[in-house]
Structure 1
Amino acid sequence: MNIAVLSGKGGTGKTTVSTNLALALKSNYIDCDVEEPNGFIFLKPKIEKTEQVMVEYPFIDDDKCTSCGKCVSVCQFNALAKVKGDIMLFEKLCHGCGACEIVCEYDALTYKKRELGNIEFGKVRDINCSRGILNIGEPMAVPVIRELLKNLSKDINLIDCPPGTSCNVVTALKYAHGSILVTEPSAFGLHDLKMAVELVKMYNIPFGIIINKDDGKDNIIKKYCRDEKINLIGTIPYNRKTAVLYSNGDILYDDLEHKILFDELSKSVKEVLNWN
């Protein structure tokens, strides 16, 4: 069972929910927010293994290249450009599709590999943890996310997705059997939640909503869930104690009050997602 935890926007508490639910469900934790993987800050697993993520990029042999420009014309990602009779390569824009090598009639193009990021594997409290880390300055996170998710366990896997609704999130959702959408009771939270809802509906993924920083009132998120007949998994109250624990980098599940809360949320998750 692969459960994706996502949010329409950043800062809603997606990683807070992911890390604590992983403990409550005794699931594997996979941090796919590779541009800012914060889950390990709270879980603090012991890193047991690290793997490099490599991607291919074209290498131009100047002795064979005639600067005909066919490789430039076929590249959909603008990774190649013809400048003053010379072919320039912007390797970080290359998606490694291989089209340029195919159209080159002079065998002037071959492929090399470079490091895009890495993946770390660790363990804490009998929970397997993994995260992807994109190298600074790299614009493409998808290859790291794919590598991170390619050999998922058949146990329960909780996938901490990137924020938003970009291709990074879509890549992670392809592996999901169910999803949890984390939001906050604000106009911005509702606006971006609607986009996330449309995304999971597009892929026909069962989902429910958790409201973080809940004010205890009949707020706009609760009204939206009723109107759209969306399952509300539960809420996390907006209080000082939660904020203090979070700011100290402590795991909420270690606090008895929050343990009870996340144990209840985990039960609701199983009900809403038709646990199988």
Structure 2
Amino acid sequence: MQIAVASGKGGTGKTTVAVSLFHFLEKIRGKKVHLADCDVEEPNDALFFPSLEILEQKQVHQYIPEIDTSVCTFCKKCVEWCEFNAITVVASRNFAQVDASFCHSCGACLVACPENAFTEKPHPLGVITRYLTENGNLFTEGRLEVGSAMQTMLIKELKKEVNPTVNFNILDSPPGTSCPVVETVSDVDYVILVTEPTPFGLHDLKITVELLQELKKPFGVVVNKAGLGSDDVYTFLKENNIELLGKIPFSRELARMYSSGELLGNIPEELKETYRGIIEKITCERLPF
């Protein structure tokens, strides 16, 4: 089963839920779990594991076209074909160039050029690292090259590491509702949305709910920092028949543990019951810890 953990905004507790869910599923006898940190701009899931063994680390490249101006006739057909405005051609100056920050490596310009003036050159996109946890499960992290805007491309490569033979694959999604999130949740079986009972949390939850309904993805909601703010988020869930998977009460001690990387060291007993309930609702089976 593939589960994505997502949120409409940053700071709601998405990583808390993803890492804790992985932690509890690891404890279930006979269950193999794989966690993939798809928040490639700011991956931090690894901070919460006391012991990780690196199995493999590989550089991922994006292939960017370059134009040979000695061959180019500056006809601008490549410009017409480029959907991302990544190519600039100034015929009067014999100038033609591809902007790597806009290029999506779709290959349209190579097809369009009648002179075969394009060649593709590798540019660093990011690094994918596979780890083994102390309990023998897999954790995979994507880390985007500084300055690159191609999150979605790296996430696609990262998702190739998803292991179909394990019981659960948990994908920690980037925050928001943009293309990287769509790519992360596109082929999962279920999405856990994490929100908070604040006006900002509710606003972004509504946008994310619309996205998942458009994608026809089954989902439920976990309310983090419960006890703060108002009850508006619960009213929204009830009015729209959205399943409330669980509540994680606001706790300064839990926040301290999170900020110091000690999240998994001493989880309160009541949270164990919360995650037991979340897992049972998603899997429809009784799973003893």
Query: Normalising to structure 2: TM-score of the pair?
Result: 0.89
**Distance of 1:217 and 1:11 partners within structure 2:** 15
What is aligned with 2:275? 262
Match of 2:20 in 1: 20
Which residue does the alignment assign to 2:70? 63
Please give the alpha-carbon distance, in whole angstroms, between the structure 2 residues aligned to 1:96 and 1:163: 24
From 31, 34, 43, the counterpart of 2:40: 34
Partner of 1:153, secondary structure, is coil
Q: 1:252 to 1:221 in 2, by over 3 A?
A: farther
2:160 maps to a residue whose letter is K
Residue correspondences, number? 272
1:217/1:133 Cα in 2 relative to 1: closer, same or farther (>3 Å)?
A: closer
| TM-score, normalised relative to structure 1 | 0.93
Whole-Å Cα distance in 2 between the matches of residues 25 and 269 of structure 1?
12
Conserved? CA contact 2:140–2:161, under 8 Å: no
Q: How much has 1:269 moved relative to structure 2?
A: 3.1
Deviations 1:162-198 (A, max 9, x none): 1000000000111211010000000110000011111
Q: Hey, which bits of structure 1, 4+ residues long, moved more than 6 A?
A: none
Structure-to-structure mapping, 1:1-276, within 5 angstroms:
1-26=1-26, 27-44=33-50, 45-83=52-90, 84-124=93-133, 125-154=135-164, 155=166, 156-215=168-227, 219-252=231-264, 254-257=266-269, 258-271=271-284
| 3-state SS of paired residue (1:139) | coil
SS for the counterpart of 1:170 is helix
**In the aligned structure 2, how far is the partner of 1:118 from the partner of 1:262?**
31
CA RMSD of aligned residues (A): 1.8
How much does 1:252 deviate? 3.6
Report the residue type matching 2:37 in the other structure.
Answer: D
Determine what percentage of the aligned residue pairs are the same residue: 40
The secondary structure found in structure 2 opposite 1:76 is coil
> Could you say what secondary structure the match of 2:101 adopts?
helix
Where 1:93 maps in the other structure, the secondary structure is coil
**Aligned-residue offset at 1:218:** 6.8
Counterpart of 1:139, as a letter, is A
Matched position secondary structure for 2:119: strand
Q: Is the 8 A contact 1:149 1:175 kept in 2?
A: no
Deviations 1:95-126 (A, max 9, x none): 11111111212121121222100101002122
Report the 3-state secondary structure (helix = DSSP H, G, I; strand = E; otherwise coil) of the residue aligned with 1:259: helix
| Distance (whole Å) between structure 2 residues aligned to residue 270 and residue 216 of structure 1 | 29
In 1, Cα distance between the equivalents of 2:203 and 2:229? Answer: 19
1:248 to 1:36, Cα distance in 2 relative to 1, 3 A? same
- Given residue 179 of structure 1, which amino acid in structure 2 is its aligned partner? V
